[in-house]
Amino acid sequence: MKKIIAIYPGTFDPVTNGHLDIIERASELFTEVIVSIAVNRNKKPMFENEERLDMLKNVTRHLGNVKVDSFEGLLVRYAERMKANVMIRGLRAVSDFEYEFQMSLTNKKLNPGINTIFMMPNEKYTYLNSSLVRELASYNANVDEFIPPYVLKKLKEKFGY
Among all residues, which ones are annotated catalytic?
Answer: 19, 43, 92, 130
How far is Cα 79 from Cα 122, in angstroms, rounded to an integer? 26
Q: Classify each residue of 51-66 as buried b or exposed e, where b means 16 or more C-beta atoms within 10 Å of its C-beta.
A: bbbebbebbbeebeeb
Max Cα-Cα span within the chain: 50
